[in-house]
Amino acid sequence: MNKRMTAATLAALTLACVLASCGDTAETPIETNAVQTTAETAANEPSIDYEGYEFRILNNLSNVAYVNMGELGQTGETLDDTIYERNMAVADALNITFKIENREYRDTFDTISRVVPAGDDVYDIYTLDLSFMTSHATNGYLMNVLDIESIDLENPWWNKNAIDSVTIGDYVFSLFGDLHVAYYEAFYPAVFNKQILQELDLDDPYQLVLDGTWTLDAMLNMMMAAKSNLDGDDKWTTADRYPFTMYEENGSICLLSTSNVFLFEKNEDNIPVWSGLSERFLDTYDKLVKSAFSVKHNNALNSSGVVSTSTLEKHRAMMHEGKALFMFEPLGAVKNLRDVDFEIGIVPLPKYDEAQEEYRTYIFASANALAIPVTNPDPERTGTILECMAELSRNTVRKVFFDETLDYKYAQDEQAQKMLDIMFSNGAFELGYVYGWGGLVYKAMQCLNAGKAEIVSPIEKLVATAEADLAATVEAFEALGN
């Protein structure tokens, strides 16, 4: 068989997958004329038969994101069942079986770090937090997806924005797309309490987004209007109302990057560079540190009297109890608010100003990514399987995830879905945080969380180390291309 799958063959596989998963009575997302054309073309194409090959997936578990890859089987939950049916359709179309193994992130990381250098062919693909996967890439453990002809990243079922934002040079090692919806849950939204908004007669964030006037200033003004020492005792406790709640360890970078400025940018060769702190970044930092981060207790996390087992759960508890106007955390965590006794809303992070053309959404560095180990015995076969899984997911898994899971387990209103569409259309990672160069991005977060007005000096102290780390990363990728 020709390893490079033609468009007609892929179309035929997609048709086979759709028919296998939907049956005769289900509504197919493909138009009648398209089906007829596909069937006619496929009649002249060779069938693909992988002779019962066992497709082996090492799947990384998450405490936030939905990571089921089909191992749960049919559970009665629509999304679980749709993923399982997708796998069965692909298995039938390509004559393969699936073997899916689940492990915690540290175990997943250690397993790949052990078996790949040893040359052991154990897994065809695996998923892992992106920030952990980077060392696998720089050590040469992962395939360059651009070398696999059966994968076409221009196809709409791959999220090219997310993939491109972490690509260095011409080495693509991580995949994001409809195949595994976990990465959608790593997008950072601004979640708000509608009840507080209405009580204070504040502007509707939904309408501001649609009007293009949802800016950092607009959000900060709302935050500060919501702040209130409700019991009048001048002590900031669980009895009071706060501008926002956020897990400080990794959250504040979402607000620093909302203005579409990143500490590390890329040059014309797609190589990340350090160009210093831009005026736009400094202005964004200044606005934040003079308002929302001017005092520690503006973050409900730092209130007194919260009984919780962890810092992470403490900040969530304050939102759950209706004590904060906004919450900033990856989307996957929002399902923890399903049983609150007030309505929540979800909007993209705001723009720097109205002149900024698009809303830019920060994607958490620990987003679940998919990669192919270099020990994979047949990357073209793997590419064909992934393309079939991903395209079928576009019409099935993605639809269920967007239309049912997001709507009914996150925010139960029609406008929220529009907001999520805007969010997902323009997400990006902060490279400096993904790779951890010099701890520079983490330092910026520390300074903001502490309300320190001076940011230039602390950052400058780390620049030399960050540039050395960055150079080592670039050199590693360049060496892999030789």
At residue 224's C-alpha, the angle toward residues 223 and 226, to 5°, is 70
Q: What's residue 26's pLDDT?
A: 37
Residues 13-42 have pLDDT tens digits of 555 554 444 433 333 343 333 333 333 433
Contact 356, 143 (CB under 8 A): no
Residue 307 has pLDDT above 80, yes or no: no
The residue segments making up the domain with residue 110 are 7-185+365-409
Residue type, 117: P
159 and 278, same domain (yes or no)? no
**If DSSP codes are grouped into helix, strand and coil, which group holds residue 470?**
helix
Q: Does a structural domain hold residue 424?
A: no
Number of domains in the chain: 2
Q: Are strands 324-328 and 242-246 parallel, antiparallel or unpaired?
A: parallel
d(CA 94, CA 403): 29
Q: To the nearest 10°, the Cα dihedral for 334, 340, 346, 351?
A: -90
Tell me the CB-side half-sphere exposure of residue 366, using CA atoms within 13 A. 17
Contact 443, 459 (CB under 8 A): yes
Q: How far is CA 26 from the centre of its chain?
A: 31
Residues 348-363 have pLDDT tens digits of 999 999 999 999 999 9
Tokens of 256: 């620093």
333 and 476, same domain (yes or no)? yes
Residue 250 has pLDDT above 50, yes or no: yes
321 and 467, same domain (yes or no)? yes
Q: Does a structural domain hold residue 473?
A: yes
Residue 6 has pLDDT above 70, yes or no: no
Q: Work out the average pLDDT over 118-124.
A: 98
Q: pLDDT tier at 378 (50, 70, 90 boundaries)? A: very high
222 and 293, same domain (yes or no)? yes
Residue 139 has pLDDT above 90, yes or no: yes
* 249/2: higher pLDDT: 249
173 and 24, same domain (yes or no)? yes
At residue 265's C-alpha, the angle toward residues 263 and 270, to 5°, is 155
CA quadruple 32, 33, 38, 44: dihedral positive or negative? positive
H/E stretch holding 233:
none
In the block, residue with structure tokens 């289900």:
26
Contacts of 343 by beta carbon, 8 Å cutoff, 6+ apart: 194, 195, 412, 413
139 and 175, same domain (yes or no)? yes
Q: Please state, for a pLDDT cut of 70, what percent of the chain lies above it.
A: 87
Report field, pTM of the whole predicted structure over 0.95: no
Q: Does a structural domain hold residue 415?
A: no
Q: Does a structural domain hold residue 1?
A: no
Residue 340 has pLDDT above 60, yes or no: yes
Could you tell me which of 315, 285, 328 has the C-alpha nearest to residue 452?
285
380 and 322, same domain (yes or no)? no
d(CA 302, CA 227): 14
12 and 58, same domain (yes or no)? yes
48 and 106, same domain (yes or no)? yes
H/E stretch holding 89:
helix 78-94
d(CA 427, CA 184): 10
Q: What's residue 25's pLDDT?
A: 32
DSSP letter string over 297-336? GGBGGG-B----SSHHHHHHHHHHTT-EEEEES-GGGGGG
Q: Does a structural domain hold residue 266?
A: yes
Q: In Å, how far are 184, 286, 313, 421 from 187, measured between CA atoms?
A: 6, 24, 19, 11
358 and 383, same domain (yes or no)? no
Residue 299 has pLDDT above 60, yes or no: yes
Among 350, 374, 409, the domain boundary falls at 409
Q: Does a structural domain hold residue 265?
A: yes
Instruction: Count other Cβ atoms within 10 Å, centred on residue 427.
Output: 24
Q: Does a structural domain hold residue 349?
A: yes
Mean pLDDT rounded to a whole number for the chain: 87
Q: What's residue 5's pLDDT?
A: 45
Residue 4 has pLDDT above 80, yes or no: no
H/E stretch holding 296:
none
Residues 383-406 have pLDDT tens digits of 999 999 999 999 899 988 887 776
DSSP summary character for residue 292? T
Rg, Å, the chain Cα set: 23
Q: What's residue 28's pLDDT?
A: 37
Q: pLDDT tier at 304 (50, 70, 90 boundaries)? A: confident
- Give the least confident one: 73-87, 131-145, 294-308, 442-456: 294-308
Among 346, 375, 409, the domain boundary falls at 409
d(CA 112, CA 124): 11
Q: pLDDT tier at 482 (50, 70, 90 boundaries)? A: low
Q: What's residue 420's pLDDT?
A: 87
Q: Does a structural domain hold residue 418?
A: no
Q: What's residue 332's pLDDT?
A: 87
The beta strands (E) that lie in 107-232 are given as 125-129, 190-193
Cα end-to-end distance, the chain, whole Å = 29
179 and 222, same domain (yes or no)? no
- The CATH number for 144's domain is 3.40.190.10
Q: What's residue 411's pLDDT?
A: 61
Instruction: Count other Cβ atoms within 10 Å, centred on residue 30.
Output: 17
22 and 76, same domain (yes or no)? yes
Residues 165-220 have pLDDT tens digits of 999 999 999 999 999 988 899 999 999 999 999 999 999 999 999 999 999 999 99
Residue 432 has pLDDT above 50, yes or no: yes
